[in-house]
Structure 1
């Protein structure tokens, strides 16, 4: 019952306007079902094969979010059910998502991943590149995707000033893009270690796993 209790405790910490994506990667079906039974409907996975298996085993009103780095050649496996793809970082990937969405007569919601952290290991697009994609004729031709907003991951730092400044920059850019391209509704930033700073700086969607499910079970 610890998942149910953790979930209730955590939801009391966040405002109503913030969507909680329960990051269920590496977690068993039984834990996700417990969170579902406690009212959680939005879950995030970072591996498509794992997400597909869980989609097939669990209730169909779950909203599955792909939160990991996305390989274009694997989009086809989740195109029939994925609710939101967080980490899109190329026009090529958007084209593949559109192609696979067409096959299922769906419009798939996507977030463009902005690179706001200093670490080289973090994926993401520059603000300039995001502007270019949003203004491109190629994007306008993709009728089976919808860009719903932006996603960003802050630097892994114990200095809250650095993290807060990165979140603040992304929020300002999000507001700018929303003024130019009406329809942005999602700013996904913040995880277990920095969600409070993210919300304080304008996030309306956070991705949290360990605070709900406990330490992850990584298989060697």
Structure 2
């Protein structure tokens, strides 16, 4: 599918993050010509290499505490906050440069051992704990759907996180972001209430 048609098909209330992992800065510039201004990176080293202040950058991959100091000056949002020690390190590094970092709590909605994220039943209590850090602005939740063909199971995971998101919104007015859905399941995610999606392959094309 043509990336222009995909971009045009995204509802106005949904923010599109172009996942630029393994992509060149030239490819990022070409995507920006189509109107995309926010890019998501999985690896800290790639973020450092490609960083351009003309764009917004989100850290969407698992983040190790010893890499936080490299991410904090560059990222506009960290979507993969999944532990209290990580929250403490983000707070520490942000305080050093007087920056308030937008963050999302990553929820392991499929409960797969291979995935990062907090358990769904612990998500709201963890979110509440993160609210106490002055240099963190908790904006909402993020999840990665299960890598399976069963659309009903994918939908069930997304729906469960949307319900958590609604509960969080009811308790904290600042909660406004639900990031879920990638190239293979973004349409399901939008139907389940996502207002931010992360698309890579479907936008940039398959790697040669």
- Normalising by structure 2, we get a TM-score of 0.95
The equivalent residue for 1:160 is: 151
The equivalent residue for 2:5 is: 9
- SS of match in other structure, 1:150: strand
The equivalent residue for 1:132 is: 125
- SS of match in other structure, 1:12: helix
The equivalent residue for 1:150 is: 141
Q: Aligned partners of 1:45 and 1:96: how far apart in 2?
A: 19
The equivalent residue for 1:27 is: 23
Q: Aligned partners of 2:195 and 2:136: how far apart in 1?
A: 21
The equivalent residue for 1:88 is: 81
- SS of match in other structure, 2:202: helix
Q: Aligned partners of 2:196 and 2:127: how far apart in 1?
A: 21
User: Any stretches of 5+ residues in structure 2 without a counterpart?
Assistant: none
For the 8 Å contact 1:25–1:47, the answer to whether it is kept is yes
Instruction: Give how far 1:164 is off.
Output: 0.6
Out of 97, 109, 132, the position equivalent to 2:102 is 109
Tell whether 2:97 aligns with 1:123. Answer: no
Structure 1's 47 and 146: CA in aligned 2 closer, same or farther, altered over 3 A? Answer: same
Q: Aligned partners of 1:19 and 1:26: how far apart in 2?
A: 22
The equivalent residue for 2:91 is: 98
Instruction: Give how far 1:158 is off.
Output: 0.7
The equivalent residue for 2:198 is: 207
Deviation per CA, 1:35-65, whole angstroms, max 9, x where unpaired? Answer: 112221000000011101111xx3x131100
Q: Aligned partners of 2:191 and 2:62: how far apart in 1?
A: 26
The equivalent residue for 1:189 is: 180
Instruction: Give how far 1:140 is off.
Output: 4.6
Deviation per CA, 1:48-88, whole angstroms, max 9, x where unpaired? Answer: 11101111xx3x13110001011011010121120111111
Q: Aligned partners of 1:195 and 1:140: how far apart in 2?
A: 28
Instruction: Give how far 1:181 is off.
Output: 1.7
Instruction: Give how far 1:175 is off.
Output: 0.2
Instruction: Give how far 1:118 is off.
Output: 4.2
- Normalising by structure 1, we get a TM-score of 0.90
How big is the alpha-carbon RMSD for the aligned residues of Structure 1 and Structure 2? 1.5
Runs of 4+ in 1 over 4 A off after TM superposition: none
